[in-house]
Each structure stands twice: as C-alpha cells, then as structure tokens.
C-alpha cells in the first residue's frame, strides 16, 4: 500500500514540472556564495593612475584578481585552469597586467580596469625550466616596449602592445639555466646570464631590436655553483657556491666575466647551518638568510661585499619599491607575541627605520609569510606606506597607518576536506547572569529599534539594527532548528586551518590554525589531510560538545609520521593533539563508538599495521569483540592491484603496543598491467541511509537490491589511454568497470567499454553506480548506470510468509554467502565534461535521489536519478509511465532550471558535499573550489512541509470563517426547532 501511495505521489510529481527551480527573488534566501582567490603568490600595485586604488594579485590557486585597496573586494577575477599555474606577473604600459603561466609557455595581457584579456601569446617551450619575465621599466609609454620572456630554453621578445613575437632566440646549451636578464637603461643590448649544470657561467649578449646574438662568453667557476643566484644590479649577480658556504659576485657586463668570492662565515662572523638568498630587488644590495638572521649587504662595483645590517628573526622581507630617483624602500616584518612589527627602510640609510608600526593580529592567522609594499604621497609631501601581508593561514591583510584596513580569509579557497557538525541544542533554563546580560542587550536592542522607527538612527545604528535582525533571523541562529537546516560546516584548509561556517549565511563562527599542523622543529612541512567526526554526543547532547578529528602528517614522503588533533566543534579549541610514531596510509572510521560515544578509528600505516584510536581500554574491548568482522583494502595504482586484508592480532613489533594490530592479506585482484590501469574507485558514503531493500517493478514483481556498504566500484583504463582525451585512438582505448566486494574480493560484475577513456567520475549510492567518461568513437561524453540486484533473495515471494514474518530478509547477511547477483545497465550521452559527481542524501532515504554534477562551467547540475534508470525503454507502457519511467533518449537532458547554483559559478569547483537534514525531503549541498557555494535542495520538492510562501493568514481566516458558520447555523437550527415544537 505504501508503494501504491508513493506511486500516486510520483504520479502527482509527473503531472508537475520535472525541474524545481526558484524564482529570481528567492535567490539568496537559502543559499550563499562566497568568492575567494587563494594564497597570494605575487602582487603588483598600480596607483600611478590616481583614482583607481587597486592591486593585482596572482595566487597559488591560479587566480589573477584585481582587488580594491580600500575594501579588499574583488573588482575582477580570472581563474585559470588547474594546469595553468601563474609564474610571473607584471604591469606594462601602465594599462596591462602581463601574466606568464604554464612554465613560461603562455603570456597573457589583461586590461587593468576591467580585466578583459587584450592578447594572448603561446610561446614555444623546448624543455621544462624556470621561467623569467622581464618587463622593462616605463622607459616611455609610446615606445613599443618589448617584454622579454625566458622559458624552456627560449628567449622571446614580445611586443607589449599586441603580443606579437618580435624575435625569438634559442639557447640549446645543455643544462643552461637563466639566472638573470638585464638591459642597461636605454641600451640596445640585452644580457642573458645563466649557469650550466657544470658550473659554467654563460653570458649572452643579444641585440634588443633583432634578437641577433652579438657575443657569447662562458667561464667556468672553479669551486662550482649551487644554482641559486640573485641579480643585484644590471651588471652584477650574486650566487651561492656549490658548498653553500660562500657568496660569489659575478660581474658579467664587462668584456670578460669576473668573479669575487667571500665566505659567509666572514660576513656573519659565526658558524651557520642553512643559507638562502632572498630577493630584495634593491639596486646594488641583496639579502641572505643565514639560519634565522637576515643579512643585508651592499655590493660594491668592484664586487666586494659589505654587510650593512643584520636583523634577527624576521618573517619576511618585501621587494623594494622606488620612492624617488635612487631611493628605494623595502619592508620587513617581525613577530612578537600576537603583534607584528612592520618596519620600512630605505637603501641609502639601511640602519634606520623610516617607518615602524606595530599591529595586533589574530593569533589564528599565524606568521606573516609574504609582504608587498606600496607607497603614496601624503599631503605634507612625505611618503606613506601600505603593506599587503600574506599570512600563514593564506589570508590577506592590508595594513596602513598601523591598522588592518581589511582582511580576506583566502585560505577558504583551498579546502582540503570538510565535515558537518550539529549546533548546540537550545537550552530552556539559562543562568541568571546570562539573563541579566540578555536583558540589557534586549533593552538596548529595543531602544535602537525605536530609534530606527522614529528615523533618529544614525548610519551606524542602522547597521547594528540590520546586524541584529540578521542575527535574530531564524536561519542564522546559533542553535539547532526543528528541520535541521542550521548546522556548522567545518572545513580544513591546505594551510592547516580549521574553520566553522554557519549554514545560514556562511559566516565564520570560529577558526583555528592548528598548532600541530604548523611548521615547527618537530614537524618540518606539515600537510593537512582529512577531517572526521570524532565524537557526536546523543545521550548528553545538552552538556557535551561534539568534537572533530583532524588528520595530518609531517612531510611529503609516504613514511612521514602522522599528526592527530581533536578539536571541539562548538568553540574550535584544540582538545588534544598527538604526534604519531607511525605513518598514515589510511584512516578508516569504524561503525562503532565507545561508551563515551567517541567513534573508533583504525589508522593503517605504511607497513599495513592497524592502529586503533581513541586509545582507551573501552575502545579496545569493543574492537577486540568486532575484530573478526573488520576488513580493509588498499588500492595500489602503480602496481594495478587491489588487496584485501583482515586483522590478525597484536602487532609483532618489539614495542608492546596494545592498540597496534597486524594484518594478513586475504585476497588480491591484479589487473593486467599492459591493458588496465586503475583510474578511479568509488564507494558508498558511510552515513548513507537506505529505506527499503525492495525495488518494485511495474507488474508488482519484487527485485531485491544488493545493498552492501562493502561494494567498491573500480574503473580501469588502458595505459595508452590514461592521458588526455585524444591522446589515444578508439582502438587502443578501453575502460573496464568493476564492482568488487571488499570483504571477499569477489568481482560481482565487470563490464568493458571499448573505445572509452577517462577522466572517470563515479558515484555509488544504494545499489547503483553512475559513472562518467569519454567515448572516443562517438566523440562525446557518456554516463553509464549499473544497478545491481540480489537474485538469491528473489525466492521470497510468498505473500503469506511475508505477512506472517516467516522470511529471512531482515536477518544479518554475510558476504561469504556469495549471493547471486544480476545487474541492469544503460548508457546515455551527456553534453558536459564533469569536475565532480555527488548524490543527494536524505535522513531516511525515502526521497528520490538526484545526481549532482559539477560541470565544466563550475556549476552544479541536479539530474534526477530517474533519467539514469536502466529500465527506461523507447516506448514505455501506460503502467510504466505511471510509475515514472521516462521514455529512453540517447542524451541526458540538461534543464536550465535544474542548476542548483542558479546564476552563480563556483570557480575552480573541486567537490560537492551533501548533508541530510531532519526534514526528509531536503538535502543541504555544499560545493567548494576557489569559491564556496551552499544551498538547500529538495529532489522531490518539499512534500513534507509547507512552502515558505504558504499563506497562513488565509488558512486561519478560512478556519475562523468555517467555525463561525458552524456556530451560526447551529443557533439558527436550534431556533427553528424550537419554533417547530411550539407549533
């Protein structure tokens, strides 16, 4: 009957529109969109043209953006592709931003005011190498300035007006690495200095107009060179020698190359461990970082070095800017407690700081990592400075006159992983102190509101009223709501910062730069990996806070030790952090919790030992009881194999660690390496809820779904076709999709798509898999669906047995029973290429599903699962139509209204996360990339709640009118009856 009712409901749905779009005025009610740019790599200011106070930045997320210097807002922004990192940035002719990207192979010019691309030139690159962009200083705007680009063994001169390549010069010398390009002022000669791999210093003299090689000179430096060098002036180069113990000054403009060499120990007058050169860009000066001290030295024309200043423990040093002729300034940042000290010095008087500012900075932003300065002329003709500071958490600050003018939380552009936490339960009894405070606040608020209504409020007051209204509005409250729409989205960024965002408006509730994931002596280069739910209280939800587990590791190598950190999800306080003794290969959250409701996590290290967390006697008891039914599998893409393991017992290591377990290999699937290479795997989400195990056909027949959380979808492609689309012919490309049981290693299903190639994106839910790939024969993208059914349960068809409960459908099942399975598949064309695929998740799993597709246009398309139903036929019967089966078409439709991102673009989209709400019909969708986008979708419309535009007043009026009518008619009838009786 329930099925029938749901069918009836589906029929109703069919009658209505397929797509559930929103009206223009509904945008922003349930969704929010935040734009970011990522960690700034380079910045150029342009304030020459007064009036437009902007800065152009290039970031690690391959974004070029123009920011407003007053507010930090984005004027324009371009997100280059994932494979197109910006290497260099410069300004030419005062109106173009020139960017060199993809290792010096693409040069683009963007119009400064509006960000439109004015030209693009692709340059030939012979071999990958360091790229250099040399934009000559404004020697005259009218003159056709040539931009010099060195990249991949070629020097190109490009006209800055239209991007035409004026000339090109190849340097085919083996191991040649350019260190500097210089063009003496107004000269027609360009010097290109570089080192070869065998410590030869090579100087090429090239005619600036024609590119003709005038002179070639090379001298070997007997002590060897480390390859690190700085160009300090138009004719001097400072380099580190091979032993990294002394500095070499190279004068290359003279007819013969001269060296001058000086031991660093002489410079600093002490022994040292590390040394590196810092770019300073001050004419005739350079900086070297020796251990933690920065040494600023002047290079005399003769090549002699003279230390002018030593500064201890600076965080970073900026490039120099030209103040007046011959006077250059640079900034330096030092840290003390929670304050940063910014000092600015000029080149002719290094010892004195012409400006010294101390700014208090949120400790959660960490240390300053980069600084860019810019000057302006004050009314009294003195120089003022503003500094753009990139912090450790990738945020961007603008500091001016000793205060932070604005800050941007750009770490959010590089989210690594995300999870969700519930908000605190609304408490009924509140303490007295809180009430008093609230009373005062309440009075204040009402005074303000009164002021507002009487039009007495100032602009500031209006802002506070607005803020209060926002805070008090239902969706932004800091407590749990009835529908479960209000939650905290907790994200972990690449910088090791954890931020909690409110789902109502996306504001940051708390943020913490995890101390365990910061660079320190114990942990050299920490990497943030994943975030998991550690503790979700149900029994004591009122007085216990949920907490999160953040997993990271120290260093790039596979045997780098892991770092665990537990963070309170309401306050962001780090409760505990452990530096692990073992490496982390996999983190497996187990479906068990201990008596404190902490989730058990099994961490597998590189040597296939399992480590149990939390390390409590309680958890180990639970784990030992369940150990025989816990399995794990590892995917080795290089060897093209999948291995299954079971846990054996205590570790056989020397140390007696109770929480360490050894494992044995149970099974392995080895794919033929000459024809198959693992491209992707996909599994069901652990928290997915399935409502029913039966699928009812049109003729009331039951198909039993094969619902197993241990089912793994793996896809392999032929090695030849593992590259980009078009790199292989259809004959040599093939794609094989597998459904594997991860417990027994049994291959449940295998299908080969001839002439298909990756990239493959797959999503698994309930008993189906949807995957997206490219069909080389049809020259189109395709999406396939596999539904898998358990045939061994199909015998349960006797109605009486089912009524009386004499069946085994709900008894626990084991993978070792080897159920017989059947699959249904279908394939469709799909127009878009895809960046990410996800599926909606609801609380009970009753609502029909939608597949969420992150398209190449950085939008999220919600496609009904009904379009991906293998039972679709060309001419469905009446009964099939009633059930909601759509006639088969070769292409999946893209309905413009079904974009859940509507008009927004989630630039650089990387992942889509779906979160169930308490309301069965609704799913929260959080998609992130460079931008963040959050919305709420209802795949079958909100059938379990009234829409927001429902007229409650009308309902109330109707009820009142009906009640009144009942009373009136009752009185009338009573009277009439009385009259009848008297008659």
| Least distance CB 495 / another protein (angstroms) | 18
Number of residues in contact with another protein, rule: CB under 8 A?
68
Q: Write out the two tokens for 101.
A: 């990207």
Taking the least distance from each CB to another protein, the nearer of 308 and 692 is 692
Give whichever of 255 and 557 is closer to another protein, judged by the CB atom.
557
Using CB under 8 A, pick the residue from 540, 780, 797, 976 that binds another protein. Answer: 797
Least distance in angstroms from the C-beta of 749 to another protein: 17
Say whether residue 557 binds another protein (CB under 8 A): yes
Name the minimum Å distance from CB 638 to another protein.
11
Instruction: Using the minimum distance from each CB to another protein, give the nearer residue, 293 or 608.
Output: 608
Euclidean distance between CA atoms 414 and 908, whole angstroms: 10
Taking the least distance from each CB to another protein, the nearer of 16 and 458 is 16
Report the site for another protein in 54-83 (rule: CB under 8 A): none
C-alpha to C-alpha distance for 595 and 539, rounded to whole angstroms: 10
Closer by beta carbon to another protein, 173 or else 696:
696
Rounded Cα distance between 871 and 549, Å, is 43
Is the omega angle on the peptide bond into residue 481 within 30 degrees of 0, that is, cis? no
Per CB under 8 A, the list member of 68, 291, 657, 882 interacting with another protein is 882
- Our CB check for another protein shows the closer of 465 and 696 to be 696
- Distances from the Cα of 551 to the Cαs of 289, 493, 596, 597, in angstroms? 32, 12, 21, 19
747 binds another protein (CB under 8 A): no
Provide, rounded to whole angstroms, the least separation between the CB of residue 820 and another protein. Answer: 16
Q: Which of the stretches 375-383, 422-430, 504-512, 551-559 binds another protein when contact is defined by CB under 8 A?
A: 551-559
Give the residue with the Cβ less far from another protein, 322 or 813.
813
Answer for the pair 458, 355: CB distance below 8 angstroms, yes or no.
Answer: no
At its nearest, how many Å lie between another protein and the CB of residue 641? 12
DSSP 161: T
List the one residue out of 801, 610, 883, 954 whose CA is nearest residue 3: 883
Counting contacts by CB under 8 A, is residue 683 touching another protein? yes
Q: Any bridge partners for residue 96, and if so which?
A: 92, 111
**Considering the rule CB under 8 A, would residue 705 count as an interface residue with another protein?**
yes
Distance, in Å, from the CA atom of 714 to the CA atom of 355, rounded to the nearest integer, reads 61
Among 602, 669, 760, 892, binds another protein (CB under 8 A): 602
Q: How far is the CB of 743 from another protein (least distance, A)?
A: 4
Would you count residue 681 as binding another protein (CB under 8 A)? yes
Nearer to another protein, 666 or 895 (CB): 666
Residue 806 Cβ vs another protein, minimum distance, rounded to whole Å: 11
Closest CA to 760 of 725, 711, 720, 788: 725
Nearest to 100 by CA among 126, 123, 127: 123
CA distances from 531 to 261, 266, 401, 499, 564 (A): 51, 49, 39, 11, 10
Asked if residue 560 binds another protein (CB under 8 A), the reply is yes
Minimum Å gap between C-beta 524 and another protein is: 15
Q: Is 708 in the site for another protein (CB under 8 A)?
A: yes
Region near another protein per CB under 8 A, out of 326-334, 369-377, 702-710, 720-728 = 702-710
Stretch that binds another protein, among 55-63, 140-148, 396-404, 801-809 (CB under 8 A): 801-809
Stretch that binds another protein, among 81-89, 243-251, 366-374, 811-819 (CB under 8 A): 811-819
Name which of 469 and 797 has its Cβ closer to another protein. 797
Binding residue (CB under 8 A) for another protein from 2, 428, 454, 656: 2
Regarding 943 and contact with another protein (CB under 8 A), the answer is no
Distance CA 743, CA 790 (A): 17
User: In sequence order, which ranges of 197-351 are alpha helices (DSSP H)?
Assistant: 264-268
Contact 90, 133 (CB under 8 A): yes
| Neighbour-count burial for 532-558, b at 16+ CB within 10 Å, e otherwise | bbbbbbeeeeeeebbbbbbbbbbeeee
Tell whether residue 564 is a contact of another protein (CB under 8 A): no
CA–CA gap between residue 150 and residue 157 (Å, rounded): 9
Closer to another protein by Cβ: residue 139 or 747: 747
Where do the DSSP E strands lie in 461-585?
487-493, 497-502, 508-513, 526-535, 547-554, 561-568, 574-583
Residue number with CB closer to another protein (706 or 867): 706
798 sits near another protein (criterion: CB under 8 A): yes
Binding mask 606-645 for another protein (x = CB under 8 A): x-------------------x--xxxxxxxxx------x-
DSSP helix/strand/coil, 901: coil
Binding to another protein in span 6-45, by CB under 8 A = 7-8, 11
- Between 355 and 602, whose beta carbon lies closer to another protein? 602
Length of the chain: 983
Q: Indicate which single residue of 450, 809, 822, 955 sits in contact with another protein (rule: CB under 8 A).
A: 809
220 token code pair = 């070997």
Report if residue 685 touches another protein, rule: CB under 8 A: no
* Residue among 57 and 528 whose Cβ is closer to another protein: 528
Among 243, 263, 508, 694, binds another protein (CB under 8 A): 694
Burial class (CB in 10 A: 0-12, 13-18, 19+), 796: middle
Q: Choose which of 655, 811, 875, 947 interacts with another protein (CB under 8 A).
A: 811
137 contributes a contact to another protein by CB under 8 A: no
CA dist 181 and 190 (Å) reads 7
- 667 near another protein (CB under 8 A): no
Q: Is 586 in the site for another protein (CB under 8 A)?
A: yes
Measured distance CA(487)–CA(473) in Å, rounded: 15
Binds another protein by CB under 8 A, chosen from 550, 721, 742, 770: 742
Please tell me the distance from the alpha carbon of residue 346 to that of residue 282, in angstroms, as a whole number: 9
Query: Among 239, 246, 249, which residue's Cα sits nearest to residue 272?
Result: 246
Question: According to CB under 8 A, which residues from 566 to 585 bind another protein?
Answer: 583-585
Long-range pairs for 463-471 at CB < 8 Å and ≥24 separation? 470/505
Of the listed pieces 71-79, 794-802, 929-937, 944-952, which binds another protein according to CB under 8 A? Answer: 794-802
Contacts of 749 (CB under 8 A, 6+ apart): 737, 738, 739, 786, 788, 821, 823
Helix (H) or strand (E) holding 971: helix 952-982
Instruction: Round to whole Å and give the CA distance between 252 and 233.
Output: 11
Give the CA-trace dihedral at 958, 959, 964, 965, to 10 degrees.
60
Closer Cβ to another protein, 456 or 694, answer by number = 694
Beta carbons of 862 and 900 less than 8 angstroms apart: yes
Structure token pair of residue 733: 């490309």
* Residue 843 binds to another protein (criterion: CB under 8 A): no
**Among 588, 622, 624, 888, interactor with another protein by CB under 8 A:** 588
CA 367 to chain centroid: 22
Beta carbon nearer to another protein, 637 or 856: 637
| Segment contacting another protein by CB under 8 A, of 145-153, 310-318, 598-606, 830-838 | 598-606
Q: How far is the CB of 408 from another protein (least distance, A)?
A: 29
Distance CA 411, CA 499 (A): 10
- Cα separation, 371 vs 700, in Å, equals 70
* Residues near another protein (CB under 8 A): 1-4, 7-8, 11, 529-530, 553, 557-558, 560, 583-591, 602, 604, 606, 626, 629-637, 644, 681, 683, 690, 692-694, 696, 700-702, 704-705, 707-710, 742-743, 796-799, 802-803, 809-815, 882
């Amino acid at each position: 009957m329930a099925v029938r009712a749901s069918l009836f409901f589906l029929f109703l749905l069919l009658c209505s529109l397929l797509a559930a779009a929103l009206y223009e005025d509904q945008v922003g009610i349930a969704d929010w969109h935040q734009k970011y740019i990522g960690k700034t790599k380079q910045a150029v200011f342009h304030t020459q043209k007064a009036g437009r106070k902007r800065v152009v930045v290039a970031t690690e997320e391959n974004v070029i953006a123009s920011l407003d210097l007053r507010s930090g807002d984005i004027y324009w922004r371009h997100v280059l592709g994932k494979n197109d990192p910006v290497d260099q940035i410069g300004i030419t002719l005062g109106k173009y931003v020139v960017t060199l990207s993809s290792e010096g192979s693409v040069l683009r010019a963007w119009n400064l005011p509006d960000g439109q691309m004015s030209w693009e030139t692709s340059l030939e690159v012979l071999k990958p190498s360091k790229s250099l962009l040399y934009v000559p200083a404004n020697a005259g705007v009218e003159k056709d300035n040539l931009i010099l680009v060195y990249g991949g063994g070629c020097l190109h001169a490009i006209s800055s007006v239209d991007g035409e390549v004026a000339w090109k010069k190849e340097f085919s010398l083996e191991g040649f690495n350019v260190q500097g390009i210089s063009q003496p002022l107004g000269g027609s000669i360009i010097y290109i200095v570089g080192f070869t791999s065998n410590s030869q210093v090579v100087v090429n003299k090239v005619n600036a107009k024609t590119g003709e090689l005038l002179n070639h000179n090379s001298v070997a430096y007997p002590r060897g060179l480390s390859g690190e060098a700085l160009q300090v002036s138009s004719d001097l180069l400072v380099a580190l020698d091979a032993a990294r113990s002394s500095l070499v000054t190279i004068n290359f403009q003279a007819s013969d190359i001269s060296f001058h060499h000086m031991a660093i120990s002489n410079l600093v007058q002490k022994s040292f461990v590390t040394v590196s050169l810092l770019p300073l860009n001050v004419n005739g000066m350079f900086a070297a970082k020796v251990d933690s001290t920065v040494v600023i030295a002047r290079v005399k024309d003769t090549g002699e070095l003279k230390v002018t200043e030593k500064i201890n423990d600076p965080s970073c040093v900026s490039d120099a800017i030209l103040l007046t002729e011959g006077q250059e300034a640079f900034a330096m940042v030092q840290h003390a407690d929670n304050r940063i000290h910014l000092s600015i010095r000029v080149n002719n008087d290094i010892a004195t700081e012409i400006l010294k500012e101390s700014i208090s900075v949120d400790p959660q932003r960490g240390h300053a990592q980069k600084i860019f300065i810019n000057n302006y002329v004050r009314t009294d003709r003195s120089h003022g400075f503003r500094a753009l500071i990139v912090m450790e958490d990738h945020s961007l600050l603008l500091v001016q006159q000793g205060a932070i003018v604005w800050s941007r939380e750009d770490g959010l552009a590089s989210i690594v992983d995300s999870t969700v936490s519930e908000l605190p339960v609304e408490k009924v009894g509140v303490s007295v102190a809180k009430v008093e405070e609230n009373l005062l606040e309440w009075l204040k608020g009402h005074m303000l509101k009164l002021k507002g209504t009487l039009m007495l409020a100032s602009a500031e007051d209006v802002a506070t009223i607005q803020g209060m209204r926002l805070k008090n509005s239902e969706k932004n409250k800091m407590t749990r709501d009835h529908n479960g729409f209000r939650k905290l989205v907790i994200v972990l960024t690449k910088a090791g910062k954890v931020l909690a965002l409110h789902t109502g408006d996306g504001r940051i509730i708390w943020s913490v730069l995890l101390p365990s994931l910061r660079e320190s002596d114990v942990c050299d280069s920490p990497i943030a990996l994943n975030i998991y739910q550690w503790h979700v209280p149900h029994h004591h939800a009122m007085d216990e806070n949920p907490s999160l587990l953040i997993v990271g590791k120290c260093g790039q190598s596979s045997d780098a030790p892991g770092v665990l950190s537990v963070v309170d999800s309401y306050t962001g306080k780090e409760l505990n952090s452990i530096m692990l003794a073992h490496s982390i290969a996999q983190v497996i959250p187990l479906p068990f919790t201990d008596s404190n409701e902490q989730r058990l996590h099994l961490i597998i290290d590189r040597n296939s030992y399992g480590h149990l967390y939390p390390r409590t006697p309680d958890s180990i008891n639970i784990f030992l009881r369940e150990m025989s039914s816990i399995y794990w599998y590892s995917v080795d893409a290089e060897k093209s194999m999948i291995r299954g393991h079971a846990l054996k017992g205590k570790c056989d290591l020397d140390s007696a660690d109770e929480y360490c377990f050894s494992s044995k290999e149970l099974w392995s699937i080895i794919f033929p390496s000459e024809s198959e290479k693992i491209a992707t795997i996909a599994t069901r989400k652990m928290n997915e809820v399935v409502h029913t195990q039966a699928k009812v056909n049109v003729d009331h027949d039951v198909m039993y779904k094969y619902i197993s959380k241990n089912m793994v979808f793996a896809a392999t492609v032929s090695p030849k076709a593992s590259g980009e689309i078009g790199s292989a012919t259809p004959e040599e490309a093939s794609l094989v999709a597998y459904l594997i049981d991860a417990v027994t290693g049994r291959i449940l299903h295998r299908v080969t798509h001839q002439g298909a190639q990756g990239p493959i994106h797959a999503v698994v839910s309930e008993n189906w898999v949807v995957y997206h790939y490219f069909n080389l024969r049809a020259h189109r993208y395709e999406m396939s669906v596999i539904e898998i059914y358990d045939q061994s349960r199909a015998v349960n068809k006797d109605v009486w047995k089912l009524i009386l409960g004499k069946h085994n459908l709900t008894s626990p099942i084991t993978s070792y029973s080897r159920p017989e399975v059947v699959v249904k598949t279908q394939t469709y064309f799909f127009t878009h290429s895809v960046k990410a695929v996800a599926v909606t998740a609801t609380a009970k799993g009753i609502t029909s599903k939608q597949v969420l597709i992150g398209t190449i246009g950085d939008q999220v398309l919600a496609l009904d699962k009904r379009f991906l139903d293998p039972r679709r036929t060309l001419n469905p019967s009446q009964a099939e139509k009633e059930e909601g089966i759509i006639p088969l078409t070769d292409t999946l439709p893209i309905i413009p209204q079904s974009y859940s991102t509507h008009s927004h673009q989630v630039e650089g989209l990387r992942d889509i996360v779906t979160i169930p709400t308490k309301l069965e019909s609704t799913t929260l969708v959080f998609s992130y990339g460079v931008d963040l986008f959050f919305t709420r979708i209802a795949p079958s419309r909100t059938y379990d709640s009234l829409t927001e535009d429902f007229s409650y007043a009308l309902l109330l009026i109707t009820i009142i009118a009906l009640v009144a009518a009942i009373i009136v008619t009752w009185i009338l009838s009573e009277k009439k009856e009385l009259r009848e009786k008297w008659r």
